[in-house]
Chain A
Amino acid sequence: MNALEARQEKPLPVLRVEAVCKSFGGIQALNDVTFDVPAGSIFSLIGPNGAGKTTLLNLVTGSFPADSGQVVFRETMLNGRKAHERVALGIARTFQNIELFGSMSVLENVLVGRHVKTRCGFLGAMARLPRTIGEEREARSRAMELLDFVGLRDAASQRSTDLPFGWQRFLEIARALATGPRILLLDEPASGLNAVETSSLAELLEKIRKSGVTLLLVEHDMSLVMKVSDRVLVLNHGMKLAEGTPCEVQANEAVIAAYLGRDKAGPRC
């Protein structure tokens, strides 16, 4: 097999998680979890409640340090880097319980996402130099583009928390995309969405992937996961139970027993 073929079969990972462990008091939330997220893929993380999925995202974004193990993002060791530094490197996220900036409009929420892509400081803001004005104009037009991208352009001036619940999830995605990420971590983006919204979410995820952003998706909605994912990793009690293509995982006996149940087991692979 030549090098080119090898690369096509296994694209370089954008994110490597190596043997991470994390415990909270007596609870072992993550126990020796290792996996690679290939660049340009949609990689899903599933598992029962309390399996450690959100904890894993938090370790990647730097909300707290791992007890052991390491996270590598495109050849950069993330250990010891603060959360805000990781955003500048290209890691963005959304939250399981939506965390919008409630005092701000929809547009302003996305503008906050442009923080890492703009530079003006205290003095620049007060002096309002031409550079600051230009930067602000650019940020606004990029923010409007992103609102368009997720279908919220018409809601730009509404207060963010006045949006219907489903739209708030889309806004969180637009806000995260505004930071210009290479990888986007989504924590249960379909929870609380109705069927129509879920299918437009699936389309949106595809669109995001096509734009060159890798996706790490935590999700309970199995039909969504099986539809959009390239690879799926199953966590159970903080341990890796299985990893593979959606078909492989759906057919895995251990996964069926621990999480999926008989009725959701792999039908036609």
Chain B
Amino acid sequence: MRYLFFIAAVLAAGFLTSSPYKLQLLTFIGINTLLALGLNMLMGYTGQISLGHAAFYGLGAYTSGVLTVHYHWSPWLGLAAAIVLAVAAAFFIALPLLQLSGFYLGMGTLGFGMIMFVVFRQMSLTGGDSGLVGIPGLFIGPLSLDSPRNYLFFVWAVAIISIFLCERLIHSRIGRALRAIHDSERAASSMGIDTGKLKVHIFVLSAVLAAVAGFLYAHLVSFISPSSFDFLVSVRMVTMVVIGGMASIWGSLLGAAVLTVLPETLTVFSEYEMIVYGLVLIVIMILLPQGLFRGVLDIYERAGSKAGKASARSQG
């Protein structure tokens, strides 16, 4: 039911908006939703931080970009290659990194993000600092996704399917195990959960979502450069998750929307982006640790229940 409303909202937004700029903005929200969703599975639900997720976003974008531009592959094969590479890279770095926890995991993923950033800048295939130009648009059979509206629908279809699948995952045996790791890793392994393996798997899943987002981004803008995948982008992803609320799938959507629209509409914002994110993270973590979305709802509920009876706080 919720999904029907959601799909209707996307269709309405798509057909009622005519300016290509606004259509593209809505499309970016969809792409960022995928990023926030994937990171939320890792951070919000499983409690493992990553400060280098832009690396997987970039990996998805560059893999498909390079293969279509230089080797004339079909973008869909490019997507497959991007996913395979993201899975391989995520396994490769997760195996050693996820032995670490908290602070060290943050440092490790940060390091990975920096290395990938340097790779994007230095390789001749990626076009270095000047970027990769001429990435082709997408076709589904004869249907061109070149029009902003078609691309918007395509991106949102991917986003909605991803949200749907992630929601199912969370409400399953695996989802409970992930949340158990978040709450107490010791207790989780005393329940027979292979915490090491599960952490690697969820890291891989979130890397794949980021890579798919990167693919969608590259074929939308047709030009990519390393600065789209730098540390600031990783921090922006973390901020989206925190604004929307850790462990909230629909919050990811909100976080993505806020951090896509704000930098576009407030020019001051783009100049001081990093500072703003820092402040937002600090303020939300201190004042509304469940995220802006849940936090405001909680305040609202508390006000409501004060007016009524002293009822117990509902669970998030």
Q: A101-B179, A116-B192 are in contact. Are A95 and B174 (CB under 8 A)?
A: no
Which residues of chain B have C-beta atoms less than 8 A from A121's C-beta?
174
A interface majority secondary structure: helix
B183 touches A93 (CB 8 A): no
CA of A82 to CA of B190, assembled, Å: 10
Q: A112-B180, A116-B192, A159-B315 are in contact. Are A63 and B186 (CB under 8 A)?
A: yes
Residues on the B chain within 8 Å of A122, using CB = 169, 174, 201, 205
User: Is B195 positioned at the interface, with any CB of A under 8 Å from its CB?
Assistant: yes
Residues of chain B lying within 8 A (CB to CB) of residue A265: none
B173 engages A115 (CB within 8 Å): yes
A136 interface residue, CB < 8 Å from B?
yes
State whether A136 and B173 are in contact (beta carbons under 8 Å apart), knowing that A87-B192, A115-B191 are contacts in the complex: yes
**Residues of chain B with a CB closer than 8 A to A175's CB:** 191
Q: Please, which residues of chain B bring their CB within 8 A of the CB of A250?
A: none
Residues B179 and A132 in contact, CB atoms below 8 Å apart: no
Residues of chain A contacted by B186 (CB below 8 angstroms): 63, 95, 99
> Could you tell me the distance in whole angstroms from the C-beta of B158 to the nearest C-beta in chain A?
15
A152 within 8 A of B: no
- Residues on A with C-beta less than 8 A from B193 are 84, 112, 115
| A92 contacts B by Cβ under 8 Å | yes
Binds B, one of A10-18, A102-110, A193-201: A102-110
Residues of B in contact with A (beta carbons under 8 Å apart): 165, 168-169, 172-177, 179-180, 182-184, 186-195, 201, 205, 247, 312, 315-316
A-B residue pairs in contact (CB < 8 Å), sample of 15? A84-B193, A84-B194, A95-B190, A101-B180, A101-B183, A101-B187, A103-B247, A105-B315, A111-B173, A112-B180, A112-B188, A112-B191, A116-B192, A120-B174, A122-B174
- A binding-site residues for B, Cβ under 8 Å: 61, 63, 82-84, 87-88, 92-93, 95, 99-105, 108, 111-116, 118, 120-122, 124-126, 128, 132, 135-136, 139, 159, 162, 175-176, 178-179
